[in-house]
Amino acid sequence: MKHFIRKSALGQEPSLEHFDIAILPELESLYAALLPSLEKERLFIYAGATSRGEGTSTVAWALAYYVAVRTGEDCLYVDGNIRHPYVRRLEGLPECGLSDFLQGGADFRMLPFPTELGRLAAVHGGRIRSSHVRLSAERAGHFITESRRYYRATVFDSLPGFDKYAEIWSRHSDTVFIVTSYRRTKQEILERVLNGFRNAAIPVTGILFNKREFPIPDFIYRRI
């Protein structure tokens, strides 16, 4: 929730004013790209990354909240990075998370918990260690079906890179985004991830360029 969404949004009704003004145009263009699909069905959005630290969780939070604001309906953020979860402090949160669901011991309705942002719910990564999780396409499909049932849009914050886990989730997703970052993502890494998706015949909808910097100060930029 950091960076993109202001703290003043906590506990308030959803509003565009809760977003940092610098990213609103980008979120709007992204929403515009999703809008045709969003009008047809409830979306399950896969947000992947090339490597850790690209800012995937921040983008996913912002995207989920933005869709909730624009549609006026409930949306869900899923912390799918069960190895290094974005939601780490689980005090006061539901007992079960994504890993518990994938292990088969929890009902989907027990997973979501309301966030301090209006119309945005979240699912944390779970308390079972990722190495003990036995992932099956059926459980993932069931999770996606259930999330579509209850939420207008679900943003799945996945593991970085491309592996079996990413393949299963992205295959069942409606839209696949890859988050890259300015001066951080290497060409070789991005090529390897994209080749993974291509070889698995999973279409990548687009790329989100994050942490973009404009090093030239404006007062100089205007003069050159």
Partner 1 sequence: MAGTEHPDIKAQRPQSTEARQINLREFYSIIFTHKWSIAAIFIILIATISWGISLREARYIASLKLYVNRGLIQQVSLDYVSRLEWEEEINSIAEIGRSQGVLSLAAREWDRQRGWPDPPIGRVNMIAAGLATMVEVLPVQETDIINILVHEADADTALAIAEIYGAAFMVEHNRVNRHSYGRDFFAKAIADVESRIRNALDAKADLQTDSEIYNWSYQQVAFSETEEMLRRDLNSKRIARRVLENQVAMERKVFEEGYDFVLTPELRDDELLKILESQLAQLRLELAQLESRYTGDHRLVRAKRSELESAQQQRHAHIVNLVRIREKQLAQSYEEEHILEDIIDQMNARSRGMPDDVARIDYYDSYVHNQWTLYSELLAKYNDSLARDEQTVVEQQLVALGPANIGGMEGYVPKFVFVFVIPLFALLLAIAFAFMIEATSSSFQTVAQLEAFSGLPVLASFRKL
Q: Distance between alpha carbon 1 and the CA centroid of its chain, in Å?
A: 12
**Near partner 1 in 124-183, by CB under 8 A:** 177-178, 180, 182-183
Determine, following the binding rule CB under 8 A, whether residue 77 of this chain makes contact with partner 1: no
Determine, following the binding rule CB under 8 A, whether residue 200 of this chain makes contact with partner 1: no
Determine, following the binding rule CB under 8 A, whether residue 5 of this chain makes contact with partner 1: no
For the bound state, the minimum distance from the C-beta of residue 194 to partner 1, rounded and expressed in Å, comes to 6
Determine, following the binding rule CB under 8 A, whether residue 192 of this chain makes contact with partner 1: no
Determine, following the binding rule CB under 8 A, whether residue 55 of this chain makes contact with partner 1: yes
How many of the other CB atoms lie within 10 Å of CB of 32?
A: 10
Euclidean distance between CA atoms 208 and 211, whole angstroms? 10
- Where on the phi/psi map is residue 92: left (φ > 0), alpha (ψ -120 to 50), or beta? left
- Neighbouring C-alpha atoms within 13 Å toward the C-beta of 175: 27
What is the separation, in whole angstroms, between the first and last Cα of the chain? 36
Name 120's bridge partners: 75
Determine, following the binding rule CB under 8 A, whether residue 208 of this chain makes contact with partner 1: yes
Q: Please, which residue, 22 or 137, has the CB nearer to partner 1?
A: 22
Determine, following the binding rule CB under 8 A, whether residue 35 of this chain makes contact with partner 1: no
Determine, following the binding rule CB under 8 A, whether residue 29 of this chain makes contact with partner 1: yes
Is 14 within 8 Å of 8 (Cβ atoms)?
Answer: no
Residues engaged in binding partner 1 (CB under 8 A): 3-4, 20-27, 29-30, 33, 55, 59, 177-178, 180, 182-188, 190-191, 194, 204-218, 220-221, 224
